[in-house]
C-alpha cells in the first residue's frame, strides 16, 4: 500500500472515529438523564461505561492523549458505580453531564487541530473537572488510577509460557477479533493482559491465518486472534465478565476444564452466523480439533472415490468417536440457521451527501421521464408511450426507495431535549418532566436537521413562559411537577409535531393589550381568540415583563414561524388559560419530490400537493359576481368556500368557458380551488424559488414539466387562509350593514 493510500485510510478512520465518538457522547447524555430517574439500572450503567470506554480506546489509537487522560478519570468513576461502590445522586449526575460536555469539546478541538496540542484554557477546564472527580475515586486522587494503568500497560503479555497438562481449573479460551476492532477502541493485547491478572497463562498462541501481505496490510484493520490456556480459580461468570466490553467486536469461545455434551451444544448455538460448513462449526466450538476434521474429510473423500457416494461428514465424525451425535445434530441446525441469516438484510453506514446526490439524480430522472412521455404523446408512438409508462412506474419505485433511505426517526431529535429541559428547568427553579410520544415517526433527514432550532425555541418558551414553579402549581391545584410533551405522528402525507405543556396557558387579554401598546393592532379592533394568539408570531412581540437569558427581547417566535414556513410547513397555537398550550407544527415528509396534481390557469401551470386533494368537480357560476374571486358553492348539501386561483395570484386571464374545482383540505380547513383545466397526477421534483421570488404569496416552490415549462407549486395552507380571511371580512361587513 502506498503512502498516499495509507494516509487516505488513516483519514477515513479518523473521520469515522469522530462521527461515532460524537454519537457516543450523545448516548452518554441520554443514559445519564435516564439514570437520574432509575439510578439502579445496570443495563444503562453498562451502556454508559461502554460509551466512555470506547471513546478512550479509540482516542488512544489516534494519539489523543489529553482525551484519553480525561476519559480515563470518568471511566474510573463509572466503574465504581457499576460495582455498587458509589451512588449516582444529583450532584454526581450533573458533574458527569459536565464531563460529557467536556468530552464533546475535546473531540471538536481534536477534529479542528487534527490531533494537535490542546488549547490551554480547554486543558484547564479538563483539569478542573478531574479535580472534581477525584473525591469519587479510591484515595480521593485520580492520578493514582493513571499510575495503575500505566504499570499494567508496561507489563508483558505473558506469551510463550510452557504448556501444562490438563487439569481442574484450566480453561481454553479462543478469541477472534473483528477486522474493525481498532475502530471501536478495542486493544487485543489489553485483553490478554487483563486475563493474566485472573490467573496463570499457560499458553498464548497468536492466530493470524487471514493476515495479508505487508504491502497490502490496511493500517486500520485487525487480524489478530488468540488461543489461550488459563489456569484460574475464578468462576465462569467472573471470567465471562472479562469480555463484557468486547463481545460485539470479538468472537469468544470458552471451553471449561471438563466440558460435556450440553456445553458444546450451547457453544454451537452461541456461534455467530458466518460459519456455514459443518466441520468449521465443530472446530470453532472446540468439539473437535483441526486434525480430526482433516482425518474425517479424508475418509469422506476416499469413500466418495470408491463408492461414488461419500457419507455425511457428521456420521464419520461420530463413527470415529471424535464427537457425540447430539453435538453433530446441534451443528447441523446451526448450519441451516446460518444459511437463512445470510439471506437477511444487513445494515451499513452511508454518507448523507451521497444520498443527497442520489435524490438529485432521481429528481432529474423524473423530469426527463416526463419529457420522454410528452414527446411520445406528441408523436403518437403507441409502443413508445407504453414503454414510457412502464418506465414511469419503475422510476416511481426508485423514487420511493431513494426517499426512504433518507427517512429517519424523529425520536433521536426529541431525546436531545431531555438535557435542555433538565438544565433550563433547574435554572428556573421548576420541576418538569419531559414525555415523548411517537419517537418512531419518520421523516426526511433534511427536515429533521432544519426543524431543530424552531423546536428548541418552542421548548424554551414552554419552560419559561408556560410552566409554573412547583409552589405556583400547588396553589393552582396542579401536581408540583409540570409536564412538557413532545409528540409526532403522520397525517395525510405530512408529519404533525406537537409541543404541549400543562402550564398557565396564554392570556389573550394580556397579548391583546401588549399588541395595542406596540401598535400592532388598532385600539378599537375586535379580534377572534385565534387571531389574538397569532399575534405572538409578530416581529418584536413579547409578553415577558422583564428581559432574561431565555426571553423578553421579542426575538424568536417570528423566526420560528419563518423557518417552519421555509420548510413548506405551518405552525398553529391552541391555548386555554390555566390549562396549558399546544404548539402544532405541520411539515412535509420530504423536501425533494412529492406527488402532485397538475392544473392550468390561463397559460400558467400549477401543482397542488396530492396529499391535500380530496376530489375534483365541475364548477358552476358561483364566482361570476364575486369581486375578489372567492365565493361559496353547495357541495352535496353542505357549503364549500372556493377561491379562483388566477384571481388569488393576480393573473390577468379571463375565466375559461368550462372551469373545474379541486377540493382540498389542510388540517380542519376545507375549500375549493377554481382552475381552468385538470391535467392529472404528476410526480413533482421541488425546485426552490430564488431570493427574487421569495416574497410571492401562495407559492411554495416550483418544478419543471416534461415540456420544459416551469410550473409553480401552490401553497394550499396559504390559499385556505385567504379564504378564511375573506369569509370573516364578509361576516364583519354584513354585521356592520345590519347594525
What are the pLDDT digits (tens) for 288-303? 766 666 677 676 666 6
- Give pLDDT, residue 501: 94
Residue 378 above 50 pLDDT?
A: yes
CA distance linking residue 502 with residue 60, whole number of Å: 48
CA distance linking residue 11 with residue 202, whole number of Å: 40
Instruction: Check residues 260 and 216 and name the one with the higher pLDDT.
Output: 216
Q: What is the mean pLDDT of residues 422-426?
A: 89
Length of the chain equals: 739
CA distance linking residue 645 with residue 602, whole number of Å: 10
Instruction: Check residues 664 and 212 and name the one with the higher pLDDT.
Output: 664
Q: How confident is the model at residue 437 (pLDDT cuts 50, 70, 90)?
A: very high
In whole angstroms, how far apart are CA 677 and each of 606, 626, 673?
Answer: 10, 20, 11
- Give pLDDT, residue 61: 66
**Which residues, including other chains, have CB under 8 Å from residue 522's CB and lie 6 or more apart?**
516
Domain assignments of the chain as residue spans, ordered by start? 3-154, 170-342, 352-406, 409-588, 593-738
Instruction: Check residues 567 and 286 and name the one with the higher pLDDT.
Output: 567
Average pLDDT, the chain: 78
Lowest-pLDDT range, 52-61, 155-164, 310-319, 538-547? 155-164
Q: What is the mean pLDDT of residues 352-357?
A: 79
Q: What is the mean pLDDT of residues 499-528?
A: 84
Specify which of 98-102, 402-406, 714-718 reaches the highest per-range mean pLDDT: 98-102
3-state secondary structure at position 640: strand
Instruction: Check residues 400 and 307 and name the one with the higher pLDDT.
Output: 400
pTM, rounded to two decimals: 0.58
Residue 358 above 80 pLDDT?
A: yes
**Which residues, including other chains, have CB under 8 Å from residue 1's CB and lie 6 or more apart?**
9, 215, 216, 217, 218, 219
Contact between 630 and 674 (Cβ < 8 Å): no
* Percent over 90 (pLDDT), the chain: 13
- Give pLDDT, residue 72: 85
Return the number of other C-beta atoms located less than 10 Å from residue 191's C-beta. 22
Q: Does domain 593-738 have CATH number 1.20.1740.10?
A: no
Q: What is the mean pLDDT of residues 303-323?
A: 69
**Domain 3-154 top-level CATH class:** mainly alpha
Best CA proximity match to 674, nearest among 688, 684, 664, 666 = 664
Residue 139 above 70 pLDDT?
A: no
- Give pLDDT, residue 486: 94
Q: What is the mean pLDDT of residues 251-276?
A: 66
Q: Phi/psi at 539 (nearest 5 deg)?
A: -60, 135
Residue 158 above 80 pLDDT?
A: no
* Percent over 70 (pLDDT), the chain: 78
Q: What is the mean pLDDT of residues 74-85?
A: 84
Residue 315 above 70 pLDDT?
A: yes
- Give pLDDT, residue 651: 85
Region for residue 127 given its phi and psi (left: phi exceeds 0; alpha: psi -120 to 50; beta: otherwise) = alpha
Return the number of other C-beta atoms located less than 10 Å from residue 241's C-beta. 12
600-625 per-position pLDDT tens digit = 998 899 999 888 899 999 886 545 54
**Domain 170-342 top-level CATH class:** alpha beta
Instruction: Check residues 92 and 41 and name the one with the higher pLDDT.
Output: 92
Residue 306 above 70 pLDDT?
A: no
- Give pLDDT, residue 628: 62
Angle between the 445-461 and 352-379 helix axes, to the nearest 10 degrees? 120
Instruction: Return the CATH architecture of domain 409-588.
Output: 2-Layer Sandwich (3.30)
Sign (positive or negative) of CA dihedral 477, 480, 484, 489: negative
Output the DSSP codes for 427-475.
HTT--EEEEEE-TT-EEEHHHHHHHHHHHHHHHHHIIIIISPPHHHHHH
Largest CA-CA distance found in the chain, in angstroms, rounded: 113
- Give pLDDT, residue 157: 28
Q: How confident is the model at residue 397 (pLDDT cuts 50, 70, 90)?
A: confident
Q: How confident is the model at residue 344 (pLDDT cuts 50, 70, 90)?
A: very low
Q: How confident is the model at residue 403 (pLDDT cuts 50, 70, 90)?
A: confident
Residue 559 above 60 pLDDT?
A: yes
| Helices and strands counted in the chain (H then E) | 24, 21
Amino acid at each position: 500500500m502506498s503512502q498516499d493510500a495509507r494516509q487516505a485510510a488513516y483519514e477515513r478512520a479518523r473521520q469515522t472515529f469522530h462521527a461515532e465518538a460524537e454519537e457516543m457522547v450523545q448516548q452518554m447524555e441520554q443514559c445519564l438523564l435516564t439514570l437520574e430517574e432509575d439510578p439502579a439500572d445496570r443495563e444503562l450503567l453498562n451502556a454508559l461505561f461502554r460509551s466512555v470506554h470506547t471513546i478512550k480506546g479509540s482516542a488512544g489509537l489516534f494519539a489523543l492523549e489529553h482525551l484519553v487522560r480525561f476519559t480515563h478519570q470518568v471511566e474510573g468513576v463509572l466503574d465504581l458505580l457499576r460495582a455498587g461502590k458509589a451512588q449516582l445522586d444529583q450532584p454526581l449526575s450533573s458533574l458527569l453531564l459536565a464531563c460529557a460536555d467536556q468530552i464533546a469539546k475535546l473531540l471538536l478541538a481534536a477534529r479542528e487541530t487534527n490531533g494537535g496540542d490542546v488549547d490551554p484554557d480547554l486543558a484547564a477546564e479538563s483539569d478542573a473537572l478531574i479535580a472534581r472527580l477525584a473525591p469519587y475515586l479510591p484515595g480521593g486522587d485520580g492520578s493514582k488510577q493513571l499510575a495503575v494503568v500505566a504499570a499494567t500497560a508496561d507489563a508483558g503479555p505473558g506469551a510463550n509460557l510452557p504448556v501444562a497438562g490438563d487439569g481442574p481449573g484450566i480453561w481454553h479460551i479462543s478469541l477472534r477479533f473483528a477486522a474493525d476492532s481498532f475502530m471501536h477502541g478495542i486493544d487485543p493485547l489489553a485483553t490478554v493482559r487483563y486475563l493474566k491478572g485472573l490467573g496463570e497463562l499457560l499458553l498464548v498462541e497468536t492466530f493470524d491465518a487471514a493476515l495479508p501481505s505487508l504491502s497490502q496490510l490496511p493500517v486500520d484493520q485487525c487480524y489478530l486472534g488468540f488461543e489461550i490456556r488459563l489456569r484460574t480459580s475464578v468462576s465462569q461468570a467472573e471470567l465471562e465478565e472479562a469480555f463484557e466490553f468486547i463481545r460485539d467486536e470479538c468472537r469468544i469461545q470458552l471451553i471449561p476444564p471438563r466440558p460435556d455434551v450440553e456445553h458444546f451444544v450451547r457453544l454451537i448455538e452461541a456461534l455467530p452466523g458466518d460459519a456455514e460448513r459443518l466441520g468449521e462449526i465443530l472446530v470453532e466450538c472446540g468439539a473437535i480439533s483441526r486434525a480430526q476434521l482433516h482425518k474425517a474429510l479424508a475418509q469422506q473423500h476416499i469413500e466418495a472415490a470408491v463408492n461414488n457416494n461419500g457419507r455425511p461428514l457428521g456420521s464419520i465424525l461420530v463413527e470415529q468417536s471424535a464427537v457425540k451425535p447430539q453435538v453433530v445434530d446441534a451443528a447441523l441446525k446451526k448450519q441451516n440457521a446460518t444459511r437463512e441469516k445470510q439471506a437477511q438484510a444487513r445494515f451499513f453506514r452511508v454518507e448523507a451527501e451521497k444520498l443527497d446526490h442520489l435524490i438529485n439524480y432521481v429528481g432529474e430522472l423524473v423530469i426527463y421521464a416526463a419529457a420522454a412521455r410528452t414527446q411520445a404523446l406528441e408523436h403518437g408512438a403507441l409502443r413508445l408511450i407504453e414503454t414510457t409508462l412502464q418506465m414511469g412506474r419503475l422510476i416511481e419505485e426508485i423514487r420511493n426507495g431513494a426517499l426512504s433511505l433518507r427517512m429517519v426517526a424523529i425520536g433521536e431529535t426529541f431525546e436531545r431535549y431531555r438535557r435542555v429541559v433538565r438544565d433550563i428547568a433547574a435554572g428556573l427553579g421548576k420541576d418538569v418532566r419531559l414525555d415523548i410520544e411517537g419517537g418512531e415517526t419518520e421523516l426526511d433527514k433534511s427536515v429533521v436537521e432544519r426543524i431543530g432550532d424552531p423546536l428548541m425555541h418552542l421548548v424554551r418558551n414552554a419552560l419559561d413562559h408556560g410552566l409554573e414553579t412547583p409552589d405556583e402549581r400547588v396553589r393552582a391545584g396542579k401536581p408540583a411537577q409540570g409536564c412538557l410533551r413532545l409528540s409526532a405522528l403522520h397525517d395525510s402525507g405530512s408529519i404533525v409535531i406537537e409541543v404541549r405543556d400543562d402550564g398557565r396557558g396564554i392570556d389573550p387579554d394580556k397579548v391583546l393589550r401588549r399588541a395595542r401598546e406596540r401598535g400592532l393592532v388598532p385600539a378599537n379592533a375586535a379580534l377572534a381568540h385565534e387571531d389574538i394568539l397569532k399575534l405572538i408570531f409578530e416581529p418584536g412581540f413579547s409578553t415577558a415583563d422583564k428581559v432574561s437569558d431565555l426571553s423578553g427581547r421579542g426575538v424568536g417566535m417570528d423566526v420560528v414561524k419563518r423557518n417552519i414556513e421555509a420548510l413548506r410547513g405551518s405552525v398553529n397555537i391552541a391555548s386555554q388559560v390555566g390549562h396549558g398550550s399546544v404548539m402544532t407544527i405541520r411539515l412535509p415528509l420530504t423536501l425533494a419530490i412529492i406527488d402532485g396534481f397538475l392544473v392550468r390557469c390561463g397559460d400558467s401551470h400549477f401543482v397542488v400537493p396530492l396529499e391535500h386533494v380530496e376530489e375534483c368537480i365541475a364548477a358552476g357560476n358561483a364566482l361570476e359576481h364575486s369581486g375578489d374571486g372567492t365565493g361559496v358553492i353547495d357541495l352535496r348539501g353542505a357549503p364549500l368556500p372556493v377561491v379562483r386561483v388566477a384571481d388569488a395570484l393576480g393573473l390577468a386571464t379571463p375565466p375559461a368557458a368550462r372551469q373545474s374545482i379541486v377540493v382540498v383540505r389542510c388540517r380542519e380547513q376545507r375549500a375549493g380551488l377554481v382552475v381552468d383545466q385538470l391535467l392529472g397526477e404528476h410526480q413533482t421534483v421541488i425546485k426552490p424559488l430564488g431570493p427574487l421570488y421569495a416574497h410571492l404569496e401562495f407559492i411554495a416552490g416550483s418544478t419543471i414539466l416534461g415540456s420544459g415549462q416551469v410550473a409553480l407549486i401552490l401553497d394550499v395552507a396559504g390559499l385556505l387562509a385567504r379564504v378564511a380571511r375573506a369569509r370573516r371580512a364578509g361576516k364583519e361587513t354584513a354585521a356592520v350593514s345590519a347594525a
